[in-house]
Amino acid sequence: WLKPLVPVGRLHTFQFSSLVHLCSLLVPPKMATARPVVSVYQFDTPTEKAETVPMPHVLMSPLRPDLVRYIHTNVSKNKRQAISVGAKVGYETAASSWGTGRAVARVPRAPGGGTHRAGQGTFGNMCRGGGMFNPTKTWRRWHRRVNVTQKRHAVATALAASSLPPLVMARGHRIGEVAELPLVVSDGLESIQKTKQAVETLKKLGCSEELQRVLDSKKVRAGKGKMRNRRYTMRRGPLVVYSEDNGIVRAMRNIPGVETACVTRLNLLSLAPGGSFGRFVIWTQGAFKKLGELYGTLKSGAPLKKNYHLPRAEMENADLDRIINSTEVQSVLRPKLEAPKKFEMKRNALKNKAEMEKLNPGSTEERELRRKCREQGSAEQKAAAASKKTRVQASKEHNKKHKKGDETFYKTLMKAFEAKAKEAEAKEDGEDDE
């Protein structure tokens, strides 16, 4: 299918990433990426299924944890209040320097006497009670402007992650007893008035283990926050999303860890606390249906959000190995480049013992034997001395037998030379007489 689209000669000029992107767009997905419908459970008898509703397209959005973390970091800064040190803090003393000649630093010093404070350094940031360096100001840029489309993409990603059990469990939620995700409950849940009834409903839905986890996590906050009206910390529990508040907010607000949110005002800070998506979300049927109306589909766009379309996945088919190893792609790729040959550095056998051993097997043993021959009193040294003595004695006997008197090689050689020399001398004398 790829050859009619791109000539082979031009395909070699493509970058590999461009080729993979092209393949991802052209290869159709072979399996469904999500369930087409979701079951709706009765709020009072969760074991019974009331009906099924279609899965909204927003819950099939691609996962972008990087975008969620970025948006969460910036949005969370928008509720900060300005704080700084006072303009006169550290400079409220009528201090002056003692000047030179008193063997002390020229830093301004507190006036007076009869107390420890007199004579102490002031004003400097290195002094106790002095002003701070680069004091903080209230006109710091506390808030951040966040792109609206990016915020909507982040919310869509967080909603999609909340419908995947592995991501919800990875975030720490206990959903072992929950029937399915996303968990949709009939609209009667919105009319609950009492907290006791709300707790019973949540336990029937399989949230008892989750609620107990939240209760067990209550700890005293570390740091100064315990003195500032936020003494305890606690994990986040399920988020209940409703369409109309007929008492559900009042019934749920006193349950530890449980939060409520309207489907038209979903907030990333609630869907992805701490910048990590995968929050356990419980939907009412009306909110679940309205989710599809809010975000629409990839083709229709979002009817209730101006100029917004759901994010598309970078690859419709994420099986990258199958794409790369397919016959269509492999048939038009260049052959694999062979790595250049590498040669080992040449080593000097006279300096490298291992290299000498390769060239001359047994050199190590020979070197060790020579070392032992130099050790006084060793068996090898005695054997070497005896061998030398025998060799010298044999040489002497040979010389005595074959090299005595005029029978030596040198004297025989010189006799022949002397005879030749006499003949040449006689010949020269004869020529001189003539």
pLDDT of residue 414: 83
Q: What is residue 284's DSSP assignment?
A: E
- Encoded tokens for 83: 């704080």
**How many other C-beta atoms lie within 10 A of the C-beta of residue 273?**
18
First to last CA, the chain: 118
The three-state (H, E, C) secondary structure of 209-259, written as one string: HHHHHHHHCCEECCCHHHHCCCCEECCCCCEEEECCCCCHHHHHCCCCCCE
The reported pLDDT for the residue numbered 28 is 43
Report strand pairing: 49-54 vs 281-284.
Answer: unpaired
**Spatial separation of the C-alpha atoms in residues 310 and 287, rounded to whole Å:** 18
| Strand bridging mode 232-233 / 219-220 | antiparallel
Q: Contact 243/262 with Cβ under 8 angstroms?
A: yes
pLDDT tens for each residue of the chain, 434 residues long: 333 333 333 333 334 445 444 444 444 444 345 678 999 999 888 888 888 999 999 999 999 999 999 999 999 999 999 999 999 999 999 999 999 999 999 999 999 999 999 999 999 999 999 999 999 999 999 999 999 999 999 999 999 999 999 999 999 999 999 989 899 999 999 999 999 999 999 999 999 999 999 999 999 999 999 999 999 999 999 999 999 999 999 999 999 999 999 999 999 999 999 999 999 999 999 999 999 899 999 888 888 899 999 999 888 788 889 999 999 999 999 988 999 999 988 999 999 999 999 999 999 999 998 888 888 888 888 898 899 999 999 998 888 887 776 667 777 788 888 888 888 888 888 887 76
Total-model pTM: 0.68
User: What pLDDT shows up at residue 373?
Assistant: 87
Is 209 exposed, middle or buried, given 0-12, 13-18 or 19+ CB atoms closer than 10 A? middle
The predicted pLDDT at position 82 comes to 96
Place of tokens 């989750």: 210
DSSP string for 11-52 = HTTS-HHHHHHHHHHHSPPSS-SS-SEEEEE-SS-TTSEEEE
